[in-house]
A and B are shown apart, each in its own frame.
Chain A
Amino acid sequence: MRRSPLVWTFGVSVFFFSFASAGNSFITLSSTTSTQASGFFDYILPLFKQKTGIDVHVIAAGTGQALRLAEKGDADALLVHDKAGEMKFVNAGFGVDRREMMYNDFVFVGPRADPAGIRGTTDAVAVLKAIGAQRATFVSRADDSGTHRAELRLWEEAGVDARAASGTWYKELGAGMGATLNTAAALDSYTLSDRATWLTFRNRGDLELLAEGDPRLFNQYSLILVNPRRHPHVKFNAASKFVEFLTSTEGQNAIGEYVVEGTVLFRPNYQKAE
């Protein structure tokens, strides 16, 4: 009897199905687009895997989405950067053992022509006041990420109601850091970026780093474990190993040794709790 294509495709699909779902020991880490886009995970995860044999599956989203994903129990650990959101998450009982583990900073990038004249300004609030006064084009992540939340806090401090101008000179994208930089390059507009993503970004066009150095641009990254009491299925032990590794002397040194274009992207700053 001739074999129908049906039988054939079914056989193939069963084969691939079993193949595709084969897996081993892993944890799921809910994290941010900045840590992924900067290549940090490509560097640090193999070191952890070598030490423990545990794979880390990274879901990169904005901090807001990363927190919500973990609230639903779809991740074992978090690496995010929004202290207010993190504290809320921990206080609501979703997370335990929050550890501040590294930092970098935000920078203002914009077109070389610099219509708002912010070049060299070290006061982040003055930068936004100038951009608002000039109604110079500014693209915002608008994705509830750590960077977006930091940006909104700065607008508030500057006393500029940028969101009222949404759609005119202030453009809300709802996109990751890289996609936002692409848009900024295409529209010759200003934006706020974390330094790591900016340094590793390849499609800069006419964009330049224009303003930096305000202490308010400090950007702290923290690790949080998803509370096993809330979500009993989480891989708490394996995820704890990951947190222990990144906050150990070895892990902290490794973080400090990650250099792109001569610049350290993330500076380790874990302080053991007293």
Chain B
Amino acid sequence: MNEFADAAVLASKLVLHADATLLEIVRRSLEVSLAAVGCASVLGLSAGALLAVTRFPGRKLCIILTNALMGLPPVVVGLLVYLSLSRTGPFGGWGLLFTPTAMVIAQIVLITPIICALSRQTLEDLWLEYAEQLRSLRVTAFGSLRTLLWEARYSLLTAILAGFGRAIAEVGAVLIVGGNIAHVTRVMTTTIALETSRGDLALALALGFILITIAMLVNGTTFVLRELADCDAR
């Protein structure tokens, strides 16, 4: 139990004194994951909307595929991105391996299916409800899509936050493609892994507490958004 107490004390000290190293690591975690979420949202929402409102052969297969990809194992994503970005890999010329950009790419691969699958479900349900009305009003395809996205905004934000939660808590992929380089690609989860291996359990746990706090904030926000959506619906 002593370790938990020590860690709690250290964690609060680090936060209260706005420890420079700690802030840097937390900031980088947020930068990488927000960048990934931003890109994955654009990709995932577009794909999700397309799958929701269009009908084409192979659509069912695409839906099954995106649903299955929601459970992509991070280490496998890490390995694939690593091999692609390695100098001997297909995109080696870009020299992106062991940079924050590589971590962003890995997280995009990881969470785009989540955002896509969740938003597809939401938008499809809504589309079934609205389709006739929108058609009778002769709203253009683009206009319909915009209406749908706006009407579903709270649920879509929930989908995006689910992606963010997965991205920021993930360690396997970012460790492989980022290399855990101090001041460059070291984020919260990789620091926890490193400090644990150094036997410095207090600092590892302190960072763990911060990560849990962020996770809870995200979940809290999701909950509030749901409530808002319900109020709107009434």
Contacts and interface: CB of A to CB of B under 8 A. Distances in A.
- The finding on whether chains A and B are genuine partners in a shared complex, rather than unrelated, reads yes
A87 B97 CA distance: 26
Given A201-B199, A202-B200, A17 B104 contact: yes
A5 B150 CA distance: 9
Nearest to A175: B197
B196 A231 contact: no
Given A20-B32, A20-B35, A202 B100 contact: no
Contact of B104 (A6, A20, A203): A20
Interface string A50-83: 0000010111100000000000111000000000
Interface in B42-73: 42, 45
Interface string B170-190: 000000000111101000000
The prevalent SS among residues of B at the interface is: helix
A37 B37 contact: no
A42 B182 contact: yes
B181 A58 contact: yes
Given A13-B35, A72-B88, A73-B87, A6 B197 contact: no
B98 interface: yes
Interface string A8-49: 011011101101110100101000010001000110000000
Given A4-B149, A6-B45, A57-B181, A21 B100 contact: yes
B196 A179 contact: yes
Interface string B71-106: 000000000000000111000110101111100100
B14 interface: no
Contacts of B38: 9-10, 12-14, 16-17
B198 A178 contact: yes
A6 B42 CA distance: 7
Interface of B: 28, 31-32, 34-39, 41-42, 45, 86-88, 92-93, 95, 97-101, 104, 146, 149-150, 153, 156-157, 160, 179-182, 184, 196-201
24 contacts: A2-B150, A4-B149, A6-B41, A9-B38, A9-B42, A9-B160, A13-B42, A16-B34, A17-B101, A20-B28, A20-B35, A23-B99, A28-B98, A37-B197, A41-B182, A42-B182, A57-B181, A59-B179, A176-B197, A178-B196, A178-B199, A182-B196, A202-B201, A204-B199
